[in-house]
Amino acid sequence: MADDDRGTPDPTPTRVAIIRHGESNTTVARTVGGPRTCSGLSDLGRRQCGRLAGRLTESGEFAGAHLYASHYPRAIETAELIASALGHPPVTIDDGFGEHDPGPECDGLSFEEFLGRHGMPDWESDPFAVTFPGGETIAELHHRVGEALHRVTSRHLGETVVICCHGGVINAALRWALHSAVAGDFELMTSNTSITEMLLVRAGRWRLLRYNDTAHLAGLPRSTNLA
């Protein structure tokens, strides 16, 4: 609705674009890439970011946006590579948008080593269960991401914010915005450098505009291992 019965207009929506980082070196190496061992983007990841930057430069759709990134090098590098398309805003680092932290014991392990030591985690049935010994639970991840979204949207009410982060963070953000269960019910497979866009229409009311938009990646290999 536009106005209420008293003639008071709805507030200007806050626009939030959440971009998953480009392909990372940890994905190529098939390791658990937490904040302690992340080494940034692969060559393909940088190409993906270049495609995204070109698209955003041509469309101008996020020009003038505030630009955020998690504290992981792969997210920071992604933000830096697309900043020119937004008008060269500074990159604000907010660790609230970091990926599910595996903790120091698991960070950097190969997937095979992790499975050999701890088995396949159950990320769906109990969000409070320990899936990474010494790391975050799913419930802690979702609480952290929800706090970060609230903090950033409160700071930039009525403006546009672009956040470069991670697949798990996008999952948490969508579940929080759509008032869905923290785990289970549905599965999201968010692609590298995809755009997910939402509007905060008013307090507690989000509108999902698009999810996993990767039109700019046409013609690129899906991953380095498939190139």
pLDDT surpassing 60 at residue 165: yes
pLDDT surpassing 80 at residue 77: yes
pLDDT at residue 1, rounded to an integer = 42
pLDDT surpassing 80 at residue 7: no
More confident residue, 46 or 187: 46
Provide the whole-model pTM.
Answer: 0.94
pLDDT surpassing 90 at residue 64: yes
pLDDT at residue 104, rounded to an integer = 97
Question: Are the C-beta atoms of 96 and 144 separated by less than 8 Å?
Answer: yes
pLDDT at residue 11, rounded to an integer = 81
Q: If phi over 0 gives left and psi between -120 and 50 gives alpha, with beta otherwise, what is residue 96?
A: alpha
Evaluated on CA atoms 116, 118, 123, 126, the torsion sign reads: positive
Which among 9, 13, 4 has a CA at the least distance from the CA of 207?
A: 13
Is residue 60 helix, strand or coil? coil
Mean predicted confidence (pLDDT) in 164-174: 97
pLDDT at residue 226, rounded to an integer = 65
Amino acid at 77: E
Is residue 142 helix, strand or coil? helix
Q: Could you read off the pLDDT of 8-63 as tens digits, one per residue?
A: 566 899 999 999 999 999 999 999 999 999 999 999 999 999 999 999 999 999 99
Give the pairing type, strands 66-69 and 195-202. unpaired
Amino acid at 52: L
Class of domain 14-215: alpha beta
Question: Are the C-beta atoms of 176 and 145 separated by less than 8 Å?
Answer: yes
pLDDT surpassing 50 at residue 112: yes
Q: What b/e sequence results for 20-50 when a residue is b if at least 16 CB atoms lie within 10 Å of its CB, and e otherwise?
A: bbbbbbbbbeebbbbbebbebbbebbbbbbe
Question: Are the C-beta atoms of 216 and 58 separated by less than 8 Å?
Answer: no
Percent of the chain with pLDDT over 90: 87
Confidence of residue 225 (pLDDT cuts 50, 70, 90): confident
For 202-211, the CB contacts below 8 A with 24+ separation are: 202/10, 202/11, 206/177, 206/178, 207/13, 208/174, 208/177, 208/178, 211/174
Q: Could you read off the pLDDT of 113-153 as tens digits, one per residue?
A: 999 999 998 888 899 999 999 999 999 999 999 999 999 99
